[in-house]
Structure 1
Amino acid sequence: MGSMSNLQLLALGRNHLTGVIPSDIGNATSLKVLGLKSNHLGGKLPATISYLINLVVLLLSGNKFTGMIPNVPGESKSVFCHLTHLQLLDVSNNQLFGDFPRCLWKLKDLQSLDLSGNAFSGEVPTSTNCSSSLTSLHLSKNNFTGSFPAVLQNFKSLIILDLGNNNICGTLPPWIGESNPLLRILGLRSNMFYGSIPWQLSQLSHLQLIVLAENKFVGTIPESFVNFSFMRQTSMMQPVLILSTDYVYSTYFENGHMDLIWKGREYTFEGTYAFVTGIDLSGNSLMGEIPSELTNLSGIQLLNLSRNYLSGRIPKDISNLKLLESLDFSWNKLSGHIPPTISKLVFLNTLNLSNNILSGEIPTGSQLQTLNDPSVYSNNLGLCGPPLGIACTKKSSIAAVDGAKEHHQDLWLYYSVIAGVVFGFWVWFGALFVCKVWRFAFISCIDAMHQQFMQKMKST
């Protein structure tokens, strides 16, 4: 490596290379592309990487590099921050740790940054002098803490943001809708965000994929989600373009990766997730009904609202979601019949409506004929018909409807009792405070009971 001073492109990715990166790689000062992804390289990153000042693309993902990101020899600045022409930096899926290098925000040409799948920790730092060229940021699967990074307000060109699987907490700031207007992919899975989902998210008209699963969001699903105009498109999506340079790099990198619960399983989409459209709000504490406005998002392929506290009925116009492939409403409190129009979802190949209080006959026909696993509809009240193997009769249908009504009546009775107790408490004690005679009589009665109790105690 030390003798290749004129080498401009070195692509050795997806081989079975072992060992470490030789320190004399710093002599290849003409390098503009260095691709070593998906090998078995390990050890610490050599500080001599900082001498590759002409690097535009650096791909080190999918190896076994360990330790902290080294500093420039003789300086306190990270080696990556010395590469001032860097446009794409990917060190994902290694064993690196330490703090986020604050100086990375000052790389004026940096368009794509991927630190995911490591053990970086601490808060994502802010900076007063940030580059505005960043379009793709992947920080998932680390140990980052703190609140939603305020530094993201500076990145007006951000298209992809993935902060999933960290320990970030706090509320989702409403400024995201205004500060990141070009955002198309937002991933916040498995953090500790709480509070309501801000309606300002609906200002992100370009949004095609939003993943807020496994957090602590409360409240209702914003009806304004209907403003995701990109999700209403049924034509073929255009891929997300991360780099636009004079060099051909597309052979050596993909547009990052993201974890999704897709068709009932967890998948890691690499590059191809740029074509996925959908909403995943599963594993939160959302309540209320499913907004009927969501059925206007006819371009989505994924809709996952499972493991919440949603109630009411499944929207009758669910068939408007013409491209839907994966639908999961399980583990909620949905009631009523399954809309017959659901059979018109010709692309649907994954469905889960289990663990609700649905009733009536399961629709049949078209694509639903292929979804013959009973677990799709299990643990509901009063559902009948195939594939459950429970015959539907007029009596059972009426019983199912009555059962659903009885459930709501029980809830009404429960809330009525609570309201009655609270009301009675304040009526009684309110009367004592207002009526002086009653108050004295009540206190005298208490005193008499106290005296009788003390006399019995003495006699024993």
Structure 2
Amino acid sequence: MLVKLRKLILDYNNLTGSIPPEIGNMTELQELSFAQNYLGGQLPGTLSHLIKLQDMYLSENQLGGHVPELGNSSLLRMVDIHMNNFSGMFPSSICVGGALRYLIAAYNRFTSIHQKTFQNCTTLQHVEFTANNIVAELNGCFGEHSRQLEVMAFGQNQLYGGILADEGETFPCNYTLLLFLDLSNNALDGSISKCLWDMPSLEFMDLSSNSFAGVVPFSRTCEDTLRYLHLANNHFIGAFPLAFKKCKNMITLDLGGNNFSGTIPSWISKSLPRLRFLRLSSNMFDGILPNQILNFRKLQLLDLSKNKLIGPVPDDFTNFTGMVHASKNSDDDAYVEQIQIVWKNVGYAYSTTITGMVGIDLSDNFLSQEIPGGLTTLIGLRYLNLSGNHLSGCIPEGIGNLLLLESLDLSRNQLTGEIPPSFAGLKSISTLNLSSNGLSGRIPTSNQLQTLVDPSIYSNNVGLCGFPLEDCVSSSALTLSETRHDEDMEALWLYCFVAAGFIFGLWLYWGMFLFYSETWRCAFYQYVDNMQGKVGKKVHCCISWFQAKALNEEVHHGMLKLKGRVCSISLPWL
């Protein structure tokens, strides 16, 4: 056994089985690394014998069970066990030595943390328990001795309680070195303290998907460091927070899924010039869209859906340079963050990460007038949703300029006219919805549009035809149908005249029989006999002409017209 070995690094292999208990005999071991293998089973209790261990990397394996006590090493500074199947309570003695700096235990199945676990972690800088099943009161997990924390990530757990820092409390606002705070997807509630906007080092804060309520407190200062803020899916109320007016370096602002109300302030683009992702969806914002909202030069995502906005969509998008070019990763992207964007198109839902997202969603408001042609200049757009409004007029002719467009939803409006031929230029389109409008004419065709086979994407447009709907009636067939209709009407009028002449002649006959002498009646009979012969010849002529025409049409499939004399019958007035 290599009892004097100091480093054992077997990362990125295909190791299977379990970690042998004999590893505890390697008492000189300082670094143990088995990351990204297929190891299973439980950690051997003999790990506590490694009194000189400093760094332990066991991430991305299939290890499970309880984590044994590791507090016998006073030198332990790094523990990375993320993406395994560890469960139960996290050990309380991990910080006994007082040297631990990094603890990464995300994506496991831990259910609780002992209240004493971090009480002695005076050197702890990074703690991450994202995506576990931890049930605990947040304020009870950390004390005054954890003020060296820079990263605290407890998202996707079952933490409860609040983070209101009253007088005399230290969590979290006295953690002056904190850079990253993720408490999303928990059961936290109550109000939040204004000190969160004044923390001198905080760059990233995610409090989304909790039960926080009340107004976002006003702060006289918003530190220049705050760049990423997620408050979505809570119960915040009030107007657009003035606390953000001085956050001039903010890149992401997500307030979706709350109860904010009032108008969108005109100062937003001037006060937040570096903003790239703005999400205000599912609130109660009303009023018109301020023209100033189009002054963002770096904006890549604008989501104002499911509000009460009215009026036209502003047309001047010349400042939206962040949506003109294909998105690239920026040097500002210091953290990996996500915004859940659900694009509802034809019954499908799409979730996407924030990286690479370039889109505009103004759906489910009360916007009116025409779709502005300026939208077609944003050639970097990948997602555009204007559905569920009162937009009218035609689809802009330049829509085909959006070559990168993947999802387009214009459904549930009052759009009219034909679908522009430039639609055939949408070479990246994979999701489309134009239903419930007043569109008409032939649906454009292209190789990409031919892949959209669901007819519901064009439903409730009574004038549309073509793939994937019923085929359009050709102009030649339409002309033939109109010609046949005219000829049928001519024949109908002919029969009407014949019937009218017969009735008139019948009444005239009986009148002559009753009121005139026998000489007059004989003369009249002779005249009627002569007329009968002429009428018979005329009728025979017309019948022969129609029969010849029908036969000719049957031979030539109805495409050749006969040119013959038109028969007519005229009865002289007597």
Which TM-score band (shorter chain)? 0.7 to 0.9
Distance 1:357 1:388 in 2: 15
Alignment of 1:83-232 (within 5 A): 83-232=175-324
Distance 1:126 1:70 in 2: 14
309 and 174 in structure 1: CA distance in 2 versus 1, 3 angstrom threshold: same
Match for residue 289 of structure 1?
370
Match for residue 341 of structure 1?
422
Residue 262 of structure 1: how far off its partner (Å): 6.0
Distance 1:159 1:83 in 2: 23
User: Which AA in structure 2 matches 1:60?
Assistant: F
1:18 to 91, 111, 135: 111
Match for residue 388 of structure 2?
307
3-state SS of paired residue (2:369): strand
Deviation per residue, 1:268-292 (Å, 9 max, x gap): 43xx312110100000000000011
3-state SS of paired residue (1:96): strand
Distance 1:178 1:160 in 2: 15
Kept in 2: contact 1:23–1:46 (CA 8 A): no
Residue 393 of structure 1: how far off its partner (Å): 3.7
Greater CA drift, 359-368 or 155-164: 359-368
The root-mean-square deviation of aligned C-alpha atoms, in Å, is 2.0
Distance 2:378 2:221 in 1: 38
Distance 1:4 1:176 in 2: 49
User: Which AA in structure 2 matches 1:135?
Assistant: R
367 and 256 in structure 1: CA distance in 2 versus 1, 3 angstrom threshold: closer
In the superposition, the TM-score normalised over structure 2's length comes to 0.64
Kept in 2: contact 1:344–1:366 (CA 8 A): no
Kept in 2: contact 1:135–1:242 (CA 8 A): no
Residue 178 of structure 1: how far off its partner (Å): 0.4
Greater CA drift, 2-11 or 329-338: 2-11
Match for residue 273 of structure 1?
354
Kept in 2: contact 1:37–1:61 (CA 8 A): yes
Greater CA drift, 85-94 or 48-57: 48-57
1:255 pairs with 2:255: no
Distance 1:387 1:337 in 2: 16
1:60 pairs with 2:141: no
Deviation per residue, 1:307-342 (Å, 9 max, x gap): 000000001111110100000000000000001111
Deviation per residue, 1:350-402 (Å, 9 max, x gap): 0000000000011112200000100010001211112112433449999xxxx
Distance 2:168 2:256 in 1: 30
Kept in 2: contact 1:21–1:45 (CA 8 A): no
Distance 1:181 1:103 in 2: 23
1:49 pairs with 2:142: yes
3-state SS of paired residue (2:343): strand
Residue 260 of structure 1: how far off its partner (Å): 3.0
Kept in 2: contact 1:47–1:70 (CA 8 A): no
Match for residue 449 of structure 2?
368
5+ unaligned residues in a row in structure 2: which ranges? 1-93, 480-574
Kept in 1: contact 2:222–2:244 (CA 8 A): no
397 and 115 in structure 1: CA distance in 2 versus 1, 3 angstrom threshold: farther
Kept in 2: contact 1:69–1:78 (CA 8 A): no
3-state SS of paired residue (2:172): helix
Residue 17 of structure 1: how far off its partner (Å): 1.1
Kept in 2: contact 1:46–1:70 (CA 8 A): no
192 and 341 in structure 1: CA distance in 2 versus 1, 3 angstrom threshold: same
Alignment of 1:64-83 (within 5 A): 64-69=158-163, 71=165, 75-77=167-169, 79-83=171-175
User: Which AA in structure 2 matches 1:257?
Assistant: I
Residue 242 of structure 1: how far off its partner (Å): 4.5
Residue 258 of structure 1: how far off its partner (Å): 2.9
Deviation per residue, 1:235-264 (Å, 9 max, x gap): x41247353xxxxxx6xxx31433332655
Q: Percent identity?
A: 41
Bigger radius of gyration among the two: 2
Distance 2:349 2:330 in 1: 22
Match for residue 40 of structure 1?
133
Deviation per residue, 1:120-165 (Å, 9 max, x gap): 0000011113312110000000000000000111100000000000
Distance 1:164 1:78 in 2: 29
Distance 2:112 2:281 in 1: 35
Residue 92 of structure 1: how far off its partner (Å): 0.2
397 and 308 in structure 1: CA distance in 2 versus 1, 3 angstrom threshold: farther
70 and 185 in structure 1: CA distance in 2 versus 1, 3 angstrom threshold: closer
Distance 2:123 2:136 in 1: 24
123 and 71 in structure 1: CA distance in 2 versus 1, 3 angstrom threshold: closer
Kept in 2: contact 1:193–1:216 (CA 8 A): yes
397 and 287 in structure 1: CA distance in 2 versus 1, 3 angstrom threshold: farther
Residue 26 of structure 1: how far off its partner (Å): 2.1
5+ unaligned residues in a row in structure 1: which ranges? 244-249, 399-460
3-state SS of paired residue (1:275): coil
Kept in 1: contact 2:221–2:246 (CA 8 A): no
Distance 2:344 2:228 in 1: 22
Match for residue 399 of structure 2?
318
3-state SS of paired residue (2:317): helix
Residue 298 of structure 1: how far off its partner (Å): 0.3
Kept in 2: contact 1:54–1:83 (CA 8 A): yes
3-state SS of paired residue (2:470): coil
Distance 2:356 2:110 in 1: 32
Distance 2:428 2:202 in 1: 39
Residue 343 of structure 1: how far off its partner (Å): 1.3
129 and 382 in structure 1: CA distance in 2 versus 1, 3 angstrom threshold: closer
Kept in 2: contact 1:70–1:78 (CA 8 A): no
User: Which AA in structure 1 matches 2:156?
Assistant: G
Which structure carries more relative contact order (alpha carbon 8 Å, separation 6+)? 1
Residue 227 of structure 1: how far off its partner (Å): 2.2
Distance 2:441 2:359 in 1: 29
18 and 87 in structure 1: CA distance in 2 versus 1, 3 angstrom threshold: same
1:358 pairs with 2:439: yes
User: Which AA in structure 2 matches 1:56?
Assistant: E
User: Which AA in structure 2 matches 1:26?
Assistant: Q
30 and 363 in structure 1: CA distance in 2 versus 1, 3 angstrom threshold: same
3-state SS of paired residue (1:341): helix
Distance 2:232 2:140 in 1: 25
Residue 54 of structure 1: how far off its partner (Å): 0.7
Match for residue 47 of structure 2?
none
